[in-house]
């Protein structure tokens, strides 16, 4: 297991499922046995404004917030939120932008959050079974099939 | 014995879980970010929780439960404690028979608040013990300690949290808590203890100070203090979320982590400070610890004034340790929030803007009426202030301006602190009259669609008694009471306002149309209950 803390920032607009995605990521890392912390701001952000959520996991995590310029991964759900959030990435950090998943690839664009998690999952040391368990735990049963498919599409979008 | 269950929980959820484990008999509060989820989650876990009209009433109901020997918890955001301060200060004198834990959820950085007051000052001002958790595990554990302290010294205890502790998710081991089984509520008459006439309050104040002295002695060696002996060159004193940032910013340093921050374990801190070469206090907000330690003649270094504003984070702690006072890079400017497309408040602000009203505003989603494209709000101070501020403006402005003044308040805010404003309007009417608008969307939308006495539904959405605003206004003797149901036509509102504003009469206009977000929520609730 990787002992260094991994820093992920997920960003987008209110209503896009940013917090849902960070819940799933945090839970997957928790199931994989890491210490995990997740942080975001609720409240005003729910009214269509910018939303971002920090997830950190490793052997022992202290602050729940990713320090500016120290994110290893930045996952962005809205095209116009890419540049706003880019400063959180460290030098050499990886941006996973919404255009990674083509406009008509997903049967429903609402599952973009989960598709981008699929892409992210290629880069993290978290077993696929933990991801799938976390997905099932955080989504209502009727949405499982569509989201598991979106997750698989995201995984395929990144070369192994 | 089985290992305790491990869960990933927010600080608020951890408090709710602990509350269930501790047999808290009643949870009360008023919704307010970042505290709201505590009672909701406590209720969802089977606890008895209820929203009160405001924090003062919530505090009094919880105090009554604790007078009756029960364990009670009352939750609110930092500014809510201002409203509840009146009973709080005297509850420190009366004490409690059961347990009373007051959760104050502060919002440094003002993610969703009108100020960033530091409620650690309340513990000192009221003279009540205060615990500050750093993460969800401590939020869970410290509720147990709070109940134990409350029952041992028969005092309310403040559990002071902040946005990042309330809303961050961290791992919790649901281990058994340091408290005995919950007591069975019963009443024991004790007039001198609970009736705070001066003759009884004078000895009560002395009792309070004796209790605090005892707690201070206990606190010197209590497990609520954690000392980490690292590098002697740098010693850091921290509590709450600041401790987490500091641990990351200064790995290898010596640490004194304070879980009990009032009364302070002064001698323990003095020994720690004496044992390190450089001793720095890392705290968010006011220099509360720095001032207290310096008053006790403990030489500590605080943070430069620029770090008093906003939240701390790892980077800011690094800068504090480096004594770096160079300007900080501006945080990225994201997209601001706005009133939802189709929000019933939109028509109102479009109309008020068009009519050139002077708008005394209030706290809620509708405060977004201040932003473009509306820019139709001229003041926003605290819950309920719209009515008093509007009346004050009407009293002194030249007649032509006075006639343009309106007060705008949401339904939940009206119940919270607007009713006394209406009474004031009847009692001290301005010469030009006044117009109050209640924007009644049938929910406490801003904090996530909570019920309130005007919705006629309880915290867990079951039917109960309902306060009908128009009936209340009639009973108060307001001559012009108008209800605009399902308003979609701006012209109707415009016409009414143009008639009422210069009329010289006292008027209440209720613009009633449900919040868009409740429709989906109610459909989900109906589905869940199988109706």
B156 and B284 housed in the same domain: no
Q: How confident is the model at residue B291 (pLDDT cuts 50, 70, 90)?
A: very high
| CB pair distance less than 8 Å for B245 and A63 | yes
B414 and B487 housed in the same domain: yes
Strand B405-410 vs strand A50-58: parallel, antiparallel, or unpaired?
unpaired
B150 and B260 housed in the same domain: no
The C-alpha atoms of residue B95 and residue B157 are separated, in whole angstroms, by 10
Q: What is the mean pLDDT of residues B141-156?
A: 97
| CB pair distance less than 8 Å for B334 and A30 | no
The 10s digit of each residue's pLDDT in B355-400 is 999 999 999 999 999 999 999 999 999 999 999 999 999 999 999 9
Q: Compute φ and ψ for B257, nearest 5 degrees.
A: -100, 125
- Rounded mean pLDDT of chain A? 93
Search chain A and give the residue with CA nearest B31: A43
Q: How confident is the model at residue B333 (pLDDT cuts 50, 70, 90)?
A: confident
B151 and B13 housed in the same domain: yes
Q: Is residue B60 reached through a cis peptide bond, with omega within 30 degrees of 0 on the bond before it? A: no
The C-alpha atoms of residue B457 and residue A12 are separated, in whole angstroms, by 34
The C-alpha atoms of residue B217 and residue B260 are separated, in whole angstroms, by 12
Residue B3 C-alpha, separation from nearest chain A C-alpha, in angstroms: 15
B170, B244, B257, B364: best to mutate for the A interface, most A CBs within 10 A = B170
Residue B211 CA from chain centroid, whole number = 27
The 10s digit of each residue's pLDDT in B6-50 is 999 999 999 999 999 999 999 999 999 999 999 999 999 999 999
Residue B79 C-alpha, separation from nearest chain A C-alpha, in angstroms: 15
Q: Does B139 touch chain A (CB under 8 A)?
A: no
| CB pair distance less than 8 Å for A41 and B167 | yes
The burial class, CB within 10 Å (0-12 / 13-18 / 19+), for B223 is exposed
Closest CA to B32 of B91, B100, B87, B81: B81
Q: At what angle do helices B490-500 and B345-354 cross, to 10 degrees?
A: 50
**Res B335: pLDDT:** 82
DSSP H or E segment with residue A51:
strand A50-58
For B168, the closest of A38, A87, A88 (CB atoms) is: A38
Last residue of a domain, one of B171, B191, B220: B220
| CB pair distance less than 8 Å for A85 and B167 | no
Residues paired with residue A7 on neighbouring β-strands, in sequence order: A56
> What share of chain B in percent tops pLDDT 70?
99
- What is the Cα gyration radius of chain A? 14
Search chain B and give the residue with CA nearest A83: B332
Q: Evaluate whether residue B330 is within a structural domain.
A: no
| CB pair distance less than 8 Å for A49 and B337 | yes
What sign results for the dihedral spanned by CA atoms B423, B424, B430, B435?
negative
Q: Evaluate whether residue B335 is within a structural domain.
A: no
The C-alpha atoms of residue B176 and residue B237 are separated, in whole angstroms, by 28
Residues of B in contact with A27 (CB under 8 A): 8
B41 and B186 housed in the same domain: yes
B406 and B488 housed in the same domain: yes
| CB pair distance less than 8 Å for B334 and A84 | yes
Q: Output the pTM of the full model.
A: 0.96
Residue A156 C-alpha, separation from nearest chain B C-alpha, in angstroms: 29
Residue A113 C-alpha, separation from nearest chain B C-alpha, in angstroms: 19
The 10s digit of each residue's pLDDT in A122-154 is 999 999 999 999 999 999 999 999 999 999 999
Counted domains in chain B: 3
Strand B157-162 vs strand B130-131: parallel, antiparallel, or unpaired?
parallel
The 10s digit of each residue's pLDDT in B222-273 is 999 999 999 999 999 999 999 999 999 999 999 999 999 999 999 999 999 9
Q: Evaluate whether residue B326 is within a structural domain.
A: no
| CB pair distance less than 8 Å for B164 and A64 | yes
Last residue of a domain, one of B220, B238, B273: B220
The whole domain housing B87 covers 6-220
Q: Evaluate whether residue B411 is within a structural domain.
A: yes
Selected residues 103-122 of chain A with any CB under 8 Å from a CB in chain B: none
Residue A129 C-alpha, separation from nearest chain B C-alpha, in angstroms: 18
- What is the Cα gyration radius of chain B? 25
Last residue of a domain, one of B173, B194, B220: B220
Q: Does A63 touch chain B (CB under 8 A)?
A: yes
B103 and B175 housed in the same domain: yes
CATH code: domain of residue B448: 3.40.50.970
The C-alpha atoms of residue A37 and residue B136 are separated, in whole angstroms, by 10
Two structure tokens written together for B292? 């207290």
Q: Does B448 touch chain A (CB under 8 A)?
A: yes
Closest CA to A116 of A11, A2, A32, A7: A11
Q: How confident is the model at residue B409 (pLDDT cuts 50, 70, 90)?
A: very high
Q: How many CB pairs under 8 A join A and B?
A: 109
Q: Does A79 touch chain B (CB under 8 A)?
A: no
CB B16 within 8 A of CB B49: no
- Rounded mean pLDDT of chain B? 96
**Res B179: pLDDT:** 66
What ipTM was estimated for this complex? Answer: 0.95
Q: What is the DSSP string of B456-486?
A: TB-TTS-B-----HHHHHHHHT-SEEEEEET
Residue A19 CA from chain centroid, whole number = 9
- Cβ neighbours of residue B400 under 8 Å, at least 6 residues apart? none
Q: Evaluate whether residue B339 is within a structural domain.
A: no
Domains and CATH numbers, chain A: 6-156 (3.40.920.10)
B32, B113, B168: best to mutate for the A interface, most A CBs within 10 A = B168
Q: Evaluate whether residue B332 is within a structural domain.
A: no
DSSP H or E segment with residue A23:
helix A18-31
CB A26 within 8 A of CB A90: no
Q: Evaluate whether residue B337 is within a structural domain.
A: no
B496 and B515 housed in the same domain: yes
Q: Does B33 touch chain A (CB under 8 A)?
A: yes
The 10s digit of each residue's pLDDT in B425-449 is 999 999 999 999 999 999 999 999 9
B247 and B368 housed in the same domain: no
B304 and B391 housed in the same domain: no
The C-alpha atoms of residue B161 and residue A156 are separated, in whole angstroms, by 43
CATH code: domain of residue B258: 3.40.50.920
**Res B527: pLDDT:** 77
Q: Does A58 touch chain B (CB under 8 A)?
A: no
Q: Does A137 touch chain B (CB under 8 A)?
A: no
B201 and B273 housed in the same domain: no
Q: What is the mean pLDDT of residues B101-130?
A: 96
| CB pair distance less than 8 Å for B33 and A42 | yes
The C-alpha atoms of residue B272 and residue B363 are separated, in whole angstroms, by 44
Q: Does B379 touch chain A (CB under 8 A)?
A: no
Q: Does B423 touch chain A (CB under 8 A)?
A: no
Q: Evaluate whether residue B466 is within a structural domain.
A: yes
B21 and B137 housed in the same domain: yes
Residue A47 C-alpha, separation from nearest chain B C-alpha, in angstroms: 5
Residues of B in contact with A40 (CB under 8 A): 167
Q: Is residue B235 reached through a cis peptide bond, with omega within 30 degrees of 0 on the bond before it? A: no
**Res B445: pLDDT:** 92
Q: What is the DSSP string of B131-160?
A: E--SSHHHHHHHHHHHHHHHHHHT--EEEE
| CB pair distance less than 8 Å for B111 and A41 | yes
Q: Is 90 exceeded by the pLDDT of residue B529?
A: no
């Amino acid at each position: 297991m990787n002992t260094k803390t991994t820093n992920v920032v997920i960003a987008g607009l209110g209503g896009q499922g940013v917090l849902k995605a960070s819940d799933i990521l945090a839970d997957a890392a928790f199931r994989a046995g890491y210490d995990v912390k997740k942080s975001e701001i609720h409240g005003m952000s729910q009214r269509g404004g910018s939303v971002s959520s920090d997830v950190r996991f490793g052997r022992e995590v202290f602050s729940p917030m990713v320090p500016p310029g120290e994110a290893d991964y930045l996952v962005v759900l809205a095209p116009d939120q890419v540049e706003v959030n880019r400063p959180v990435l460290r030098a050499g950090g990886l941006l996973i932008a919404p255009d990674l998943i083509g406009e008509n690839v997903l049967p429903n664009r609402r599952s973009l959050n989960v598709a981008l998690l699929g892409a992210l999952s290629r880069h993290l040391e978290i077993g696929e079974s933990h991801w799938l368990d976390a997905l099932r735990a955080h989504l209502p049963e009727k949405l499982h099939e569509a989201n598991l498919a979106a997750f698989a599409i995201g995984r395929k979008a990144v070369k192994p | 014995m089985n290992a305790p269950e491990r869960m990933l929980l927010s600080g608020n959820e951890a408090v709710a879980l602990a509350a269930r484990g501790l047999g808290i008999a009643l949870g009360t509060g008023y919704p307010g970010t970042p505290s709201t989820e505590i009672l909701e989650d406590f209720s969802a876990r089977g606890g008895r929780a209820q929203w009160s009209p405001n924090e003062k009433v919530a505090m009094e109901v919880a105090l009554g439960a604790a007078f009756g020997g029960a364990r009670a918890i009352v939750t609110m955001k930092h500014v809510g404690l201002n409203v509840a301060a009146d009973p709080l200060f005297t509850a420190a004198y009366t004490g409690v028979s059961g347990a009373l834990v007051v959760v104050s959820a502060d919002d440094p950085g003002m993610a969703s608040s009108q100020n960033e007051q530091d409620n650690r000052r309340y513990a000192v001002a009221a003279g009540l013990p205060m615990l500050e958790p750093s993460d969800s595990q401590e939020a869970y554990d410290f509720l147990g300690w709070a109940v134990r302290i409350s029952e041992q010294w028969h005092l309310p205890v403040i559990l002071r949290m902040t946005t990042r502790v309330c809303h961050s998710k961290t791992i919790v081991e649901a281990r058994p808590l340091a408290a005995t089984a919950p007591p069975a509520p019963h009443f024991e008459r004790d007039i001198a203890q609970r009736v705070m006439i001066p003759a009884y309050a004078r000895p009560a104040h002395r009792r309070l100070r004796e209790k605090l002295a005892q707690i201070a002695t206990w606190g010197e060696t209590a497990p609520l203090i954690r000392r980490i002996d690292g590098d002697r060159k740098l010693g850091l004193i921290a509590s709450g979320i600041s401790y987490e940032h500091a641990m990351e910013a200064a790995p290898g340093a010596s640490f004194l982590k304070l879980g009990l921050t009032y009364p302070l374990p002064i001698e323990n801190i003095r020994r720690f400070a004496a044992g390190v070469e450089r001793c720095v206090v890392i705290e968010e907000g006011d220099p509360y610890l720095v001032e207290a330690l310096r008053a006790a003649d403990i030489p500590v270094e605080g943070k430069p004034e620029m770090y008093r504003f906003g939240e701390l984070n790892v980077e800011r702690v690094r800068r504090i340790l480096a004594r770096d006072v160079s300007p900080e890079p501006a945080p990225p400017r994201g997209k601001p929030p706005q009133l939802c497309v189709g929000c019933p408040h939109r028509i109102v602000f479009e109309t008020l803007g068009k009519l050139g009203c002077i708008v005394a505003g209030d706290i809620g989603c509708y405060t977004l009426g201040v932003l473009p494209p509306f820019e139709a709000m001229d003041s926003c101070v605290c819950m309920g202030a719209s009515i008093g501020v509007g009346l004050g403006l009407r009293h002194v402005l030249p007649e032509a301006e006075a006639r343009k003044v309106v007060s705008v308040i949401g339904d939940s805010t009206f119940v919270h602190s607007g009713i006394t404003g209406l009474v004031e309007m009847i009692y001290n009417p301005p010469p030009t009259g006044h117009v109050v608008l209640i924007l009644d969307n049938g929910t406490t939308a801003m904090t996530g669609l909570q019920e309130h006495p005007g919705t006629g539904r309880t915290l867990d959405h079951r039917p109960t008694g309902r306060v009908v605003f128009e009936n209340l206004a009639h009973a108060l003797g307001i001559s012009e009471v108008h209800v605009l149901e399902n308003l979609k036509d701006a012209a109707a509102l415009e016409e009414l306002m143009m008639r009422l504003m210069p009329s010289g009469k006292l008027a209440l206009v209720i613009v009633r149309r449900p919040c868009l977000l409740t429709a989906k929520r109610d459909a989900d609730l109906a589905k869940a209950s199988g109706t």
